[in-house]
Amino acid sequence: MRVLCILLLLTASLAQATTRVEGLRMWPSPERARLVFDISAPLEHRVFTLADPHRVVVDLAGATLAKPLEQPAADDRSLQRIRSAVRKKGDLRIVLDLKAKMRPKTFLLQPGNGHGHRLVLDLYPGDGAVAGTSAVKRVEPAQVLRDVVIAIDAGHGGVDPGAIGPRGTREKDVVFEIARELERAIAAERGMRPVLTRTGDYFLSLRKRIERARQHQADFFISIHADAFRDRRVRGASVYALSQRGATSEAARWLAKRENASDLIGGVSLEDKDNLLASVLLDLSQTATIEASLGAGEYMLKGLGRLGKLHKTRVQQAGFVVLKSPDIPSLLVETGFISNPSEEERLMQSRHRLAIARALVDGLRRYFGEHPPPGTILAARKHVITRGETLSEVAQHYKVSVDLLRATNDLKSDRIRVGQELRIPVASEG
């Protein structure tokens, strides 16, 4: 029994230490060859070059190959072949056999744009700074700025059609179309990334919707609905944030179940706090979250008000379950009354749905412009290049690495021009 326990512990710690290399994608180009390793988690790595014949060696700490690596095309200008070997302590070594001398640069990318964690290896032709070196060169992993994540929640779904309009339009269909429109609009925004809580026509419980947003570490949550009322003349959009009473009842729930909750509230675990401290922390977090929601909601109402008369001109507050994340600002948007014949017709028009999505994104842009979460692209400062400045000087000035600067600005080379605007990453406050 005891032996078994130790064995289980060993396998558990080994499993934790292993990062899978899930694939390799290559973009050959005369100016710079880019190799992207898709990895299951960030990892420690080092890169060095060897001569006679020219090779680039990448050592990945605690990594395994999920499948054999992609090989370069026969006419690839820089790469001959890619080999891999398992080294001691479960490290993975990848060797690139080169056709000519190349200068490697690496950096890590966090999940974004439909990809997971990535290790990027750029190969520049010629000698450059690390000419002829066979010495081991330590490459620090760069912390790349992340997107602000917006969780979009299309209300209802599956067996729950939501409200139904006089012409038979179902709320669940209309709000899903608006959610899709919003998803596209957010994906097109610099520094923002959308995630949908439900991606099709199926039932999803309210708690599950919150859970999805937490899983994706959303910075904001928007639930899309359409209203209904027995008086068909009632019309207009409205926006809801969580009420203080809803927050209080939710706090009681969190405190009651916190013994087995691995959740973090605003990055803080409540598990090891005594009752009073835990409730104070929770209360602070909830108050800040409601205030943030109200602020963003006002911006959205401004935009929605330009599309037609509003049902309520101020953000309303209610105890809706989907709004109960203690640390994710959350809004529920009633996009109009599906029970009003002319609004039902408008909600069926794709132009109107697009206009709603744009109004919501405008609100988000304004809100996050004023309150960018630390460590995100939106929190980056700007620097305009002046005559004679080099990329490494800019990096030095702001105390960030050149790799990070290059990755943040999607630069394909170190060439910059006068007047060019660079985003300068601001260190995360942790």
Q: Which region among 63-71, 133-141, 157-165, 295-303 touches Zn ion (by CB under 5 A)?
A: 157-165
DSSP3 helix / strand / coil % (the chain, rounded to 5): 35, 30, 40
Give the length of the chain: 430
Please tell me whether residue 162 binds Zn ion under the rule CB under 5 A: yes
Q: Any contact of residue 236 with Zn ion (CB under 5 A)? A: no
Q: DSSP strand E in 280-368: where?
A: 316-318, 330-337
Contact indicator for 248, 254 with CB cutoff of 8 Å: no
Helix (H) or strand (E) holding 80: strand 79-86
Cβ proximity to Zn ion: between 219 and 334 the closer is: 334
Q: Tell me how far apart the alpha carbons of residues 56 and 146 are, in angstroms, rounded to a whole number.
A: 29
Contact 213, 328 (CB under 8 A): yes
Smallest distance from Zn ion to CB 171, Å: 5
> Which CB atom, from 155 or from 246, has the smaller least distance to Zn ion?
155
Interface with Zn ion, residue 157, by CB under 5 A = no
**Closest-CA residue to 174 (of 133, 102, 212, 225):** 225
Closest Cα partner for 34 from 127, 142, 123, 109? 123
The three-point CA angle 112-115-120 to 5° equals 90
Q: Which lies closer to Zn ion via its Cβ, residue 194 or residue 336?
A: 336
Closest listed residue to residue 333, CA positions, set 322, 341, 349, 343: 322
CB of 221 to Zn ion, least distance (A): 15
According to CB under 5 A, which one of 55, 225, 324, 365 is a site residue for Zn ion?
225
Residue 179 CB, shortest distance to Zn ion, in Å, is 12
- Complex with Zn ion: residue 225 or 346, whichever CB lies closer: 225
CA distances 202 to 51, 161, 197, 215, Å, are 58, 10, 11, 19
**Residue 72 binding Zn ion, by CB under 5 A:** no
Closer to Zn ion by Cβ: residue 24 or 356: 356
Given candidates 72, 155, 236, 329, which one binds Zn ion under the rule CB under 5 A? 155
Q: Is 425 in the site for Zn ion (CB under 5 A)?
A: no
Q: Which C-beta is closer to Zn ion: that of 155 or that of 165?
A: 155
| Region of 159-167, 191-199, 257-265, 421-429 interacting with Zn ion (CB under 5 A) | 159-167
Are 378 and 367 contacting, i.e. CB atoms less than 8 angstroms apart?
no
Site size toward Zn ion (CB under 5 A) is 3
Which one of 73-81, 111-119, 156-164, 234-242 is the stretch in contact with Zn ion (CB under 5 A)? 156-164
Per-residue contact flags (x/-) with Zn ion for residues 24 to 63, judged by CB under 5 A: ----------------------------------------
- How many Cβ atoms from other residues are within 10 Å of residue 80's Cβ? 16
Q: Which residues here bind Zn ion, judged by CB under 5 A?
A: 155, 162, 225
